[in-house]
Structure 1
């Protein structure tokens, strides 16, 4: 038997295991933009649980086992509805039937304010003043970021069946459901849960402080 056949046979189980892992269980992603600051930074490498919301067959992308659905506060990776070949990451703030309002930078879910504006903290980032403000949705407690000098899109919607309303934590630097609408269930890829690596391109170094962090 030729050496290259033996070589291929020895690596086939490894290749198969990686394929199955990425297709059904866990897939790594890199954060390319700052739309989820302060939760996720540019250069973070994360793991996404593809099992949480059900098992889909690769290639045809058909859900064959329904396991769970996104909860308010989950950070999810999904295929961007206007361009499904592109993956986006945002936070689910509205599930089917929810009434979502966003006024004066305060998020309302079914009439209840989620944003704890009185606890805002001011700091400077990249030469401009920003505010970090806590929010809590279900078991998820996290911070969002505003740029006080910028205007913010406002309004109220009801989330249709089979879809989700998502926002970036960097509220004034995120193109999300306020701009392009809802995320259909079939566009979901999985739930982001862990930062396994982080690269700070400005310092050209690994950001060890972020490695091993759970995603709130």
Structure 2
């Protein structure tokens, strides 16, 4: 009978343990599931989630973050679901949406990355300590802080370190939009 603990078996188990540790503690791939971040991220895009950076510094405005849902989202999607949005305001900031524009601390925020101007109004509110305000880039088709309120910092899993699939989204943009977003015109 052959020994169970051969060098190959040990090597395989160490590699498996290392892969699990990296995915759990350092970085992991995620697939975009909704149009809430379109046009920055489309359904089917794959991104790397950096889980290390926020151990050394705080999140910043305009960063795309992945997070565990607050109570309002857990009811609809379950406690294991992870969401992706962009940070638009930090603790202590005042946020409002008026006449199609996002205002932070009274100043209109220029956002070249959003799909279209806001079609909703939101009264001025202050982001509490220990929270950030997150919105999807597809502002009118996003279930985000304008619906369920500020996001606790403790819910953030990590930040988007970049898209790795598709490798050249602009090359396939017309095909990509038609395939995943039939209601949008290329």
| TM-score, scaled relative to structure 1 | 0.70
Q: Could you tell me how far 1:193 is from its partner in structure 2?
A: 1.8
Q: Could you tell me how far 1:8 is from its partner in structure 2?
A: 3.0
How many residues of Structure 1 are paired with residues of Structure 2 in the alignment? 164
Contact 1:99 1:111 in 2 (8 A): yes
Contact 1:39 1:143 in 2 (8 A): yes
Q: Secondary structure at the match of 2:147?
A: helix
49, 58, 76: which is aligned to 1:69?
Answer: 58
Q: Secondary structure at the match of 2:57?
A: coil
More strand by share: 1
Counterparts of 1:111-150 in structure 2, within 5 Å, are 111-115=106-110, 135=111, 142-146=112-116
Counterparts of 1:70-109 in structure 2, within 5 Å, are 70-82=59-71, 83=74, 84-109=79-104
Can you give the 5+ residue segments of structure 2 that lack an aligned partner in the other structure?
172-186
1:159 partnered with 2:127: yes
d(CA) in 1 for partners of 2:109, 2:46: 28
d(CA) in 2 for partners of 1:80, 1:36: 16
Can you give the 5+ residue segments of structure 1 that lack an aligned partner in the other structure?
55-66, 116-134, 136-141, 199-206, 212-216
Q: Could you tell me how far 1:154 is from its partner in structure 2?
A: 2.0
Q: RMSD value over aligned CA atoms? A: 2.0
Q: Could you tell me how far 1:48 is from its partner in structure 2?
A: 0.9
Deviations 1:10-63 (A, max 9, x none): 201211221121122111100000000010000000001100111xxxxxxxxx
Q: Secondary structure at the match of 2:60?
A: coil
Counterparts of 1:1-216 in structure 2, within 5 Å, are 2=2, 4-6=4-6, 7-54=8-55, 67-82=56-71, 83=74, 84-115=79-110, 135=111, 142-146=112-116, 151-198=119-166, 208-209=168-169
